[in-house]
Structure 1
Amino acid sequence: MAKTSHNQGNGLAADIGKRTPFTSLRQEAYLNLVRTHEHLSCEFTRLLKKHGLSDSQYNALRILRGEGKPMQTYQIAERMITSQTDISRLVDRLEASELVERERSAEDRRVVWVSLTDKGRAILKKLDKPVSDLHEKQFEGFSDEQLKSLVKLLYSARSDGSGKQEA
């Protein structure tokens, strides 16, 4: 019996002109995630670039706003959506743009606190609606139930099987 492939017709295989089946369903799922990430993040990156920010800079600013008080650099790094190997340089760029400010602790000069400036808060406020609108547009074809399932599946893909999130 001929092997039927989930690659035929519409889908990633057709999008990339693949002539043979994927090695496995897991490979196809992974490549779909990569392709989807590229598509969605490209739109997001373009939006942020119009406001002079990178994805990581925006993420750091949102973390600071969400915390509502100064944070140490390592605390910001721990909460980043994508791993940030050089958080100090990221904070340097934000400080140079006057979006954050640093202050050394009076008790321990090794400790540096990072806080959001009024200019940083203003740029986030300016971006709130466009970012929200972009997310709505990107997922407009999904029902709430589908989105809940997608969120659960993506979380599971990052889990180590025990329900604990891997770094």
Structure 2
Amino acid sequence: MPATTRKRISKSQYENLAAFRYALRKFLRFSEDAAVAAGLTPQQHQALLAIKGFPGRDHVTVGELAERLQIKHHSAVGLIDRLVLEELVERETSAEDRRRVDIRLTERGEGMLEELAALHREQLKRIGPELSSLLQRLGQGEA
């Protein structure tokens, strides 16, 4: 849409957008710090969550993990290599397609992710009302 036909954004709308971005960044910082305290990098934590939270099954392919983390395929391979060394995930040849390798959490990976997920749920309970309020204002055009 050309700038001349777009409705101008008000100061309060900028303030709401900035407040929402700030709240998201605080949550992400909490998440990064929690991962490090658990002995993981933030990206390793994200990978474990992406695998466990993949819709409809408990494993992913390298390509699916790369897509979920928004990284290059070769970067996902390196991340998986490090997770395998830490015994957090395992590679398994697919029973359906012998050319495909599935990545799934180990028992150790499941345990670490469960602890982090509990911390994140508690944090979201604390900040949820603020995020809900900001989202509501953003959705009502006040942003």
Q: Could you tell me how far 1:87 is from its partner in structure 2?
A: 1.8
The offset of 1:149, in angstroms, is 6.6
Q: Give the TM-score normalised by structure 1.
A: 0.59
Which of 63, 66, 82 in structure 1 is aligned with 2:50? 63
Q: Which runs of 5+ in 1 are unaligned?
A: 1-22, 155-167
Specify which structure has the bigger relative contact order, considering alpha-carbon pairs within 8 angstroms and separated by 6 or more residues: 2
Residue 69 of structure 1 deviates from its aligned partner by 3.0
- Tell me the TM-score normalized by structure 2: 0.67
Residue matched to 2:132: 147
Number of the residue aligned with 2:30: 43
**Could you say which residue in structure 1 is the equivalent of 2:85?**
96
Bigger proportion of residues as helix = 2
Q: How does 1:119-134 map to 2 (within 5 A)?
A: 119-134=108-123
Q: Root-mean-square deviation (CA), in Å?
A: 3.2
Identical positions, percent: 26
Gaps of 5+ in 2: 1-8
Question: What SS does the corresponding residue of 2:71 show, helix, strand or coil?
Answer: coil
Contact 2:48–2:113 (CA<8 Å) still a contact in 1?
Answer: yes
1:70–1:113: 8 Å Cα contact kept in structure 2? yes
SS at match of 1:84: coil
CA change 1:148–1:38 in 2 (3 A) is closer
Aligned residues: 126
Which of 106, 114, 123 aligns to 2:103? It is: 114
Q: 1:148 to 1:113 in 2, by over 3 A?
A: farther
The alignment status of 1:74 with 2:63, answered yes or no, reads: yes
Of 34, 41, 44, which aligns to 1:54? 41
Tell me the secondary structure at the aligned position of residue 150 of structure 1: helix
CA contact 1:44–1:134 (8 Å) conserved in 2: no
* 1:6 counterpart residue number: none
When residues 152 and 53 of structure 1 are mapped into structure 2, their CA distance, relative to the original with a 3 A threshold, is: farther
Work out the CA distance in 2 between the residues paired with 1:152 and 1:72: 38
Determine which structure has more spread, i.e. the larger CA radius of gyration. Answer: 1
Residue identity opposite 1:89 in structure 2: G
- For 2:135, the aligned partner's letter is L
